[in-house]
Structure 1
Amino acid sequence: MGSNSKSRSSSKSIVSDCFDSKTMAVVSHKGYEVQKKLGAGAFGTVFKAVNRKTNQLAAVKVIALDKMSKNSREKFLPREIETTINSRHPNLVQVFDIFRANHRLYIFMEFAGNGDLTGFIRKHNGLKIRLACGWFLQASNGLAYLHGTLYTAHRDIKPDNILLSEKWVAKMSDFGFAKESFDRSSRRVLLSSTFCGTLPFECPQILEHKPYDAFKGDIWSMGVTFFIMFHNKFPFNYRDGSKAMLKQHYDYPGHIRSKYERKLPHDANRLCEDMLNPDEGKRCSVKELVSNSYIKNNS
């Protein structure tokens, strides 16, 4: 009894640190009740909340603006907000409400009742073919909307950022590095010179610090994610640093094939290799992912 009481007290303390009385009044006026902390990152904390009017669960991302660098606050945050607001697709996490108070930004969004893809993969030591193809197709559909409708590259795709809803639908999330990467007037891709993302998922061009096609960078990250879905391990050893990983990237396709642990159909391995082609000009597009017959027939 004492332990549970301390836990509830600690949870209330964490909530009060991010929601003062005035902010909580705004939250309550919008119909929400904040329940508990779900996790924390460098710039903010995520809470679970419920809409009292509809009983719909929500995740509340609280971003501490005063803990962000000026560059992050003025460059990356506005892009994240814009992408988040404009993302209206069943395979992208939806935002319900956003407001700012006390040097913090409060983003109310869909609640992922079944966690992220990373947790599920680890728990089950990889996914069965139909499940992997189904979730991969759903994530690809969300990415196709980002690329084709919003002309925006995600730039940080990984299983951690693919969430699973209460109905087990895969939804892409976390648009902190998202950027519109297409000039609509000239109809040309705008090469990116911001070398962002997460090391094991970064394409060769990012590791080499060369201006790169961010849309094709997303495809590379999808390829790493696809490999992890089946094998529950990374296709490239990132622990030895970027130079060693680059060497593995360019040992194509020999290195990838040497890492296959499960006997998968040729079409599955071929798709993986098409996404992980170090030549971004030969790397497949998101249109090819959503139209891939192997993925569609097995999802």
Structure 2
Amino acid sequence: MDPLPWDQVMKVLRHKYLINFYQAIETTSRVYVILELAQGGDILEWIQRYGACSEPLAGKWFSQLTLGVAYLHSKGIVHRDLKLENLLLDKRENVKISDFGFSKMVSTNTQGQKKPSQHLMNCFSHLSQTYCGSFAYACPEILLGLPYNPFLSDTWSMGVILYTLVAAHLPFDDTNLKKLLRETQKEVSFPANRPVSQECKNLIHMMLRQAVKRATILDILKDPWVIKFQPERPYQEIQILEVLCPPQSSTATTSHPPEFYQQGKKK
């Protein structure tokens, strides 16, 4: 089954931290998409204007992003272009995830599967081969041109986002692709002049590591730093994700340097 086009994906989404889709009007030459207005602009503009976020503000925005992504992943939907420009702010400065142009509802061959949970479990083991998004937020698998798990691609992008919220600059230099790839294979370092709690650093390390050890959205939901800032516990999403997300290795809860790409490349 082919993935649903982005506008079909958006029609089935309703969540407080996702931009609302109202209508698409197609003419012979153009498509007009009517979306919810986000009066606060995007978070990249905010950082460019004000610099690094305080940790409480970073926690607020990141926990809202986490709840929105958990909602998507619990429905078998991946965003695949998470970045600061696509995190809008409403008039109360709450996050609204936007731009679903690369999103898709992951579909697999469900023949013989009677339970929806079985289908979703297959979704979570699905590998994507569409290389999309922005280099600075792309996981190493995409940069290497390998088939990749799009759910773990989203959580890598979330790591880049959180780092940038607290550091006011991207963790990796994306001006040169070879340099970018080298940098993504090392443990990220933090600027000495910006105080960042060890809990926050640990979470970033969990997301910015090789795919086999990378945090899933469920790991992020259960992280102590995120829980401190969560406005509510998404019990329904957690219940679904506990069935879907494969257990990570014990190293996923530590901040040891990632040993990227020890596993062999897929042909």
**TM-score, structure 1 normalization:** 0.69
Partner in structure 1 of residue 214 of structure 2: 283
1:203 deviates by 0.6
Q: Which of these residues, 149, 162, 180, is aligned with residue 226 of structure 1?
A: 162
1:291 deviates by 2.5
**Distance in 1 separating the partners of 2:97 and 2:192:** 26
**Distance in 2 separating the partners of 1:173 and 1:261:** 32
Residue type at the aligned position of 1:128: S
Q: Aligned residues, how many?
A: 218
Partner in structure 2 of residue 272 of structure 1: 204
Greater Rg by CA: 1
Cα distance, 1:260–1:226 mapped onto 2, change above 3 Å: farther
Partner in structure 1 of residue 226 of structure 2: 295
1:171-217: CA deviation from partner (whole Å, max 9, x where unpaired) = 10000001223536453222011111101001100000000001100
Q: Classify the secondary structure of the residue corresponding to 1:107.
A: strand
Identify the structure with bigger relative contact order (alpha carbons < 8 Å, sequence gap 6+).
2
Q: Classify the secondary structure of the residue corresponding to 1:106.
A: strand
**Distance in 2 separating the partners of 1:210 and 1:236:** 20
Partner in structure 2 of residue 60 of structure 1: none
Mapping of residues 239-278 of structure 1, within 5 Å: 239=175, 241-251=176-186, 253=187, 256-257=188-189, 259=191, 261-277=193-209
Q: Which runs of 5+ in 1 are unaligned?
A: 1-74
**Distance in 1 separating the partners of 2:227 and 2:190:** 26
Q: Which of these residues, 83, 99, 102, is aligned with residue 174 of structure 1?
A: 99
**Distance in 1 separating the partners of 2:20 and 2:222:** 24
Cα distance, 1:261–1:247 mapped onto 2, change above 3 Å: farther
1:258 deviates by 5.1
1:48-93: CA deviation from partner (whole Å, max 9, x where unpaired) = xxxxxxxxxxxxxxxxxxxxxxxxxxx99x6210121111111100
Q: Classify the secondary structure of the residue corresponding to 1:139.
A: helix
Partner in structure 1 of residue 35 of structure 2: 109
Cα distance, 1:260–1:250 mapped onto 2, change above 3 Å: farther
**Distance in 1 separating the partners of 2:48 and 2:218:** 29
**Distance in 2 separating the partners of 1:96 and 1:105:** 13
Q: Which runs of 5+ in 2 are unaligned?
A: 114-118, 231-267
Residues 137 and 289, structure 1, Cα contact 8 Å, conserved in 2: no
Partner in structure 2 of residue 51 of structure 1: none
**Distance in 1 separating the partners of 2:24 and 2:145:** 35
Mapping of residues 52-63 of structure 1, within 5 Å: none
Residues 274 and 284, structure 1, Cα contact 8 Å, conserved in 2: yes
1:297 deviates by 1.3
1:238 corresponds to 2:169 = no
1:216 corresponds to 2:152 = yes
1:213-239: CA deviation from partner (whole Å, max 9, x where unpaired) = 011001111100101101110111111
What's the RMSD between the two structures over aligned residues? 1.8
Partner in structure 2 of residue 201 of structure 1: 137
Cα distance, 1:274–1:261 mapped onto 2, change above 3 Å: farther
1:249 deviates by 1.4
Give the share of equivalent positions with the same residue, in percent: 28
Structure with the higher strand share, 1 or 2:
1
Residues 231 and 261, structure 1, Cα contact 8 Å, conserved in 2: no
Residue type at the aligned position of 1:180: M
1:245 deviates by 1.2
Q: Which of these residues, 51, 56, 65, is aligned with residue 125 of structure 1?
A: 51
Residues 129 and 298, structure 1, Cα contact 8 Å, conserved in 2: no
Partner in structure 2 of residue 154 of structure 1: 79
**Distance in 2 separating the partners of 1:290 and 1:258:** 23
**Distance in 1 separating the partners of 2:27 and 2:193:** 50
